Structure 1
Amino acid sequence: MGNAASLKARAQVLLEQAGVTIGGRRPTDIAVHDERTYTRVFAHGSLGLGEAYMDGWWDAADLPGFFARVLSSHIDESLRTLDTLLMHLRAKFLNMQRGEHAWEVGRQHYDLGNDLFEAMLGKRLVYSCGYWAQANDLDAAQEAKLDLICRKLRLQPGQHVLDIGCGWGEALKFAAERYGVSGVGVTISKEQAEYARELCKDLPVEIRLQDYRELDEPFDAILSVGMFEHVGPKNYRAWFEVARRCLRADGLALLHCIGSNGHPGRPDPWIEKYIFPNSMIPAMSQVAAALEDLFVVEDWHNFGADYDRTLMAWLANVDAAWPTLRERYDERFRRMWHFYLACSAGVFRSRRDQLWQITLSPRGVPGGYRVPR
């Protein structure tokens, strides 16, 4: 009992640095329902915190706000555990995004069920950050993001476009309908490929269930949205080499991905286990090194704060749809998904991670590239 009390006291000292009180009345304070929470968190860090939440051992009325406070104060760095170390070593020395491993995230995450994603993502199945510069709702923000990408790529009728990691096909559908292009999309999710083929069936769009490394054909423009996080640092150079060999000399490529502020991000053990297996957030230094001598960086646009609003909209959509979704997903899954979206919103609200759109040309745009915003 004494050990549990001392761990609780230690937890309170840490949380006070973030302005969080155990048993407090503010929405960002936490209520602990099971005293074993403290042992679990100090033993297993974020993995223990997430699993304890999934099991109903603790709650916060404003979970995204709780995470924003914790992450802004960096007290999570006091909870580096063996789980975190093992995950970091695994990522550093093993290539977990090659061969059969490359397909795991498709099976575990993107094949969960289109019903969940249809409920969460809104009018368009676009599973990436919206662009909220002039938008007031999720659907408008996602449409603005897709149009921003097309404008940055300077798409023209008759061009042939590649989407690396095409998801449910929404970006290619938008580009084909609004900008008159044809395209090819590749994905490693069977569920996504089937959905995208149906979505784009009346358009000049081909959807392939294919590893991006197999691509070797010419395109006028290349886009990749929310896929690079699954590539892995040992494959970043290969990704840019594929893009370079497939892009015509006068074409443009756009990479839309989450990025880390500092040194290469370590995989989070809870996210790795429950949400995105074999995923890594790239650091700017890794991206820059991987594209050296392959591309000219025409523009590097950061609108990471927009991901907070996007995630909060997804969270509200899931909560609203839960009476229907509960027929297929149990309460532990609901808490897992809530933790995932709330924690992610806290990450971007605290500006610990960023959202980058990087526009690239093989040789530099003659006369310079004028940046659309």
Structure 2
Amino acid sequence: MALSPHAAEDVVARRPAPDRLRRRVAELLASAGVRLDGTAPTDLRVRDPRFFTEVLSRGSLGLGETYMDGAWETDDLDGLLTRLMRARLHERVHGLDAWWTVARATLLNMQSRRRARRVGRVHYDLGNDLFRAMLGERMVYSCGYWARAATLDEAQEAKLDLIARKLELAPGMKVLDIGCGWGEALKFMAERYGVSGVGVTISKEQAALARELCRGLPVEIRLQDYRELDGRYDRVFSIGMFEHVGLRNYRRYFDTVRRCLAPDGLTLLHTIGSNVSVRATDPWIGRYIFPNSMLPSAAQITQAFEGLFVMEDWHGFGPDYDRTLQAWRANIERAWPSLPARYDERFRRMWRFYLAASMAVFRTRQAQLWQLVLSPDGVPGGYAAVR
């Protein structure tokens, strides 16, 4: 939830008693169809009264942290968060942390080479055991394509094949995967389409497992920042990495792709997108899940590649991410008892909040999933869109 500046001043100036705070929270929740201490699955039950101060003074950061600490419960976390987002309470309850996050992103390049590596250490290096348990047979940490799929593994394979077909892959091509994760896309394309490739990641854990998974294939995995890339490739693609590039670096990203792509090549960008142009991410997501991340808007993306590429295709299937996240949650919930003790109860609650909040964002269509196909100078005769 988020508090307007006027309401924030009211809270600070008047220093209301706890019962006033409780009434204010109850009113906000009621506007979203949620009862405080009610019995419906999406109602919110408070276990620690500090919840009221935290959520009103710190917005979404306070909401997420108090859930992690067990200060409140609900029987339907993603359903509750969907109601809060649909009522746009995040626009009514801002914490100072949100203002500070935006201010820093405005003044600094939060995704510089030095800062960009932090998300690798904080998130992607958490442990391959965690991601193996959650992601399924194919360790693909991005939205599946469910148009004709019935299971997560089918949806992820369908997504990888969709990308390969959009790129018009052919045997002997050399491809570049920017933000290759655990190497599953390159592995799939080398096995199914006969290509060779290079993948780059800033996560040591990802690089180590990717090399293992791609052993015996014409695939090279590098621990490298995208800004350090060179060479020439027939095709360049990026799946779920652009969310870490940052507004100040979008042009640099597309300059790099143009430099590395053959004149008659194609590039595909698979990214989560925002309906509005912003400079920073939600404070809770930025602190606990993806440091220094931000979602690009359509305007920011197109402005960044203007003069460098021709738009050939723009495909959106954001609702598929809700279903992907539900499958990840089912997998990780089954796996919790067998995971190492370092994933303690607070971590589990953090992870549950992350997945549920992500479901709510896509369910309310406040975030999208886009695949863009670009060419340096336009495909002669036109590009045939693939679905």
State how far apart, in whole Å, the 2-side matches of 1:313 and 1:22 are.
29
Matched, 1:44 2:50: no
1:207 counterpart SS class: strand
- Whether the aligned pair in 2 keeps the contact of 1:4 and 1:36 (CA below 8 Å) is no
For 1:261, the aligned partner's letter is N
Alignment of 1:279 onto 2:281: no
Q: How far apart, CA to CA, are the structure 2 residues paired with 1:3 and 1:145?
A: 53
> In structure 1, what is the equivalent of residue 126 of structure 2?
112
Q: 1:262: which partner in 2?
A: 276
- Equivalent pair of 1:264/1:286 in contact (CA under 8 Å): no
Per-residue Cα deviation, 1:286-316 (whole angstroms, up to 9, x for no partner): 1011000000111111111111011111111
The offset of 1:13, in angstroms, is 1.1
Runs of 5+ consecutive residues of structure 2 not aligned to the other structure: 1-14
Aligned counterparts of 1:166 and 1:326: Cα–Cα separation in 2? 26
For residues 85-143 of structure 1, the C-alpha deviation after alignment (integer angstroms, 9 at most, x for no partner) is 00001111100111221111001100000000000000111000001111111111101
Read off the aligned partner of 2:310 and give its amino acid letter: V
* 1:305 corresponds to 2:319: yes
Does residue 237 of structure 1 match 2:242? no
Map 1:204-243 onto structure 2 (within 5 A).
Answer: 204-243=218-257
Q: Does 1:368 align with 2:385?
A: no
Residue equivalent to 2:112: 98
Distance 1:288 1:142 in 2: 27
**8 A Cα contact 1:162 1:222, kept in partner:** yes
Indicate conservation of the 8 Å contact 2:145/2:159, yes or no: yes
Q: TM-score, with normalisation over the residues of structure 1? A: 0.98
Q: What percentage of residue pairs aligned between the two structures are identical?
A: 63
CA contact (8 A) 2:106 2:279 kept: no
- List gaps (5 residues or longer) in structure 1: none
- Match among 101, 119, 122 for residue 136 of structure 2: 122
What residue number does 2:75 align with?
A: 61
Please give the residue correspondences for 1:91-170 in structure 2 after superposition, counting only pairs within 5 Å: 91-170=105-184
The letter of the residue matching 2:367 is D
Provide the alpha-carbon RMSD of the alignment. Answer: 1.1
Letter in 1 for 2:104: R
Following TM superposition, by how much is the alpha carbon of 1:25 offset from its aligned partner in structure 2, in angstroms? 2.1
How far apart, CA to CA, are the structure 2 residues paired with 1:265 and 1:101?
15
Question: What secondary structure does 2:17 align onto?
Answer: helix
Number of aligned pairs? 373
Aligned-pair CA distance for 1:265: 5.4
Please give the alpha-carbon distance, in whole angstroms, between the structure 1 residues aligned to 2:141 and 2:277: 26
1:177 partner letter: E
Letter in 1 for 2:250: Y
CA distance in 2, matches of 1:124, 1:268: 29
Q: Cα offset for 1:326?
A: 4.9
Q: 2: CA distance between counterparts of 1:235 and 1:186? A: 17
Partner amino acid, structure 1, of 2:208: E
- TM-score if structure 2 supplies the norm length? 0.95
Which secondary structure does the structure 1 equivalent of 2:117 belong to? helix
The 8 Å contact of residues 280 and 292 in structure 2, kept in 1 or not, is answered as no
The separation in 2 between residues aligned to 1:67 and 1:300, in whole angstroms, is 29
1:124 aligned partner, one-letter code: R
Matched, 1:27 2:11: no
Aligned residue among 331, 346, 349 for 1:335:
349
